[in-house]
Amino acid sequence: QNVKTCVVGASGLVGQTMLKVLEELNFPVGELKPLASARSAGKTVLFKGKEYVIEELTENSFDGFDLALFSAGAGVSKKFAPIARDKGLVVIDNSSAWREDVEIPLIVPEVNLEDFSKNNLIANPNCSTIQSVLPLKALQDVFGLKRVSYSTYQAVSGSGIRGIQDLERTEKGEDPEFYPYPISETAIPEIDVFLEDGYTKEERKMINETRKILHDDTLPVTATCVRVPVRNGHGVSIAVELEKEFTLEQVRKTLADYEGIVVVDNGAKHQYPTSTLANGTNEVYVGRLRKDTSCENGLLLYTVADNIRKGAAANAVQIAHAIFSKK
């Protein structure tokens, strides 16, 4: 059926990628309305070879539409996502605005699509969370999870165009304008803001979102999130204690059999997850599998995914696809 679709934040990195993925997945877009703030209104975007003029987002923008994909920051989503939902649209929001709201489902289609209930406002998880919960869900189903510890290596595109520009300007020896230090010279262990307890908001997001998506509010999870001088493609190192004993062969098969995961794991041949492999695809790459002998039933793994695609735009469109194919 034809789905009248709004894309809010159409001029941004994620918004533009949403348009690309809508086209690639052949989503049945009946009518397209790209929306953005006054600052970007008037610019054009391409969709299926046709140019569309971006309209300024107002409360009336959603009238007569079926679906709204948001990626325009938490402030815009806080205000406009409920307006779109109350007008009867299915709303999928990529911002952090609604993720921790108990009423709002937080969805990764391969992991917890069943959480999509009648509530037509759905939150897209944080990019580093999405690529982590796929392998963790695969392992949880077979071996059970006892504890999770994340260390992330996050690309600058996670900060949008401003992050990419800071990498480029500091590579040329110019001063940084977005990050506190020249990202081309140093990793920066600060993503989003610092909280009272010394964690950053990004780390807190990964902890809370992991528990919500895996339906285990008491699962011990911790995280250290670091920005690295990589243009696109987040890496996440995961140390996980499983409930049950396992062999690496069992783990490898469990992961390889899981929808959305590509296992790349042969150190001798330099085969492991990289941005080079992941960028431009919608899959999560998993490798560097090995036993963590520092604890009982410990396993170490490393994942990479295109943080703009599977980490944001593709995950959102996949949710929309799953919902509208059921309508």
With contact defined as beta carbons under 8 Å apart, do 16 and 45 qualify? yes
Among 21, 127, 213, 262, binds ligand 2RA (CB under 6 A): 127
298 is in an annotated binding site: no
39 is in an annotated binding site: yes
Catalytic residue (choose from 6, 225, 234, 321): 234
Among 128, 132, 170, 232, binds ligand 2RA (CB under 6 A): 128
Is residue 159 within the footprint of ligand 2RA (CB under 6 A)? yes
Q: How far is the CB of 150 from ligand 2RA (least distance, A)?
A: 12
Of the candidate spans 61-69, 120-128, 138-146, 166-174, the one that interacts with ligand 2RA by CB under 6 A turns out to be 120-128
Helix (H, G, I), strand (E, B) or coil at 20: helix
Q: Locate 202 and state its tokens.
A: 């990004």
Neighbours of 97 (CB within 10 A): 22
231 is in an annotated binding site: no
Q: Catalytic annotation on 6? A: no
Residue nearest to ligand 2RA (CB): 158
Residues 6+ apart with CB under 8 A from 228: 153, 154, 155, 183, 187, 235
12 is in an annotated binding site: yes
The size of the interface with ligand 2RA (CB under 6 A), counted in residues, is 8
| Nearest alpha carbon to residue 275 among 250, 307, 251 | 307
Tell me the C-alpha distance between 199 and 179, whole Å. Answer: 18
With contact defined as beta carbons under 8 Å apart, do 209 and 126 qualify? yes
Q: Catalytic annotation on 215? A: no
Q: How far is the CB of 89 from ligand 2RA (least distance, A)?
A: 24
Tell me the C-alpha distance between 165 and 157, whole Å. Answer: 9
Return the residues of window 28-67 that contact ligand 2RA according to CB under 6 A: none
With contact defined as beta carbons under 8 Å apart, do 27 and 18 qualify? no
Among 91, 191, 313, 320, binds ligand 2RA (CB under 6 A): 191
Please give the radius of gyration of the chain, using alpha carbons only, rounded to the nearest integer: 20
Q: What angle do CA 124, 125, 130 make, to 5 degrees?
A: 120
Among 158, 229, 233, 287, binds ligand 2RA (CB under 6 A): 158
96 is in an annotated binding site: no
Binding mask 138-157 for ligand 2RA (x = CB under 6 A): ----------------x---
Which residues pair with residue 11 across a beta bridge?
none
Tell me the C-alpha distance between 123 and 107, whole Å. Answer: 7
Is residue 188 within the footprint of ligand 2RA (CB under 6 A)? no
Report the interface residues with ligand 2RA, using CB under 6 A.
126-128, 154, 158-159, 191, 202
Q: Which residue numbers are catalytic?
A: 127, 234
Binding-site residue positions for NADP(+): 11-14, 39-40, 157-158, 307
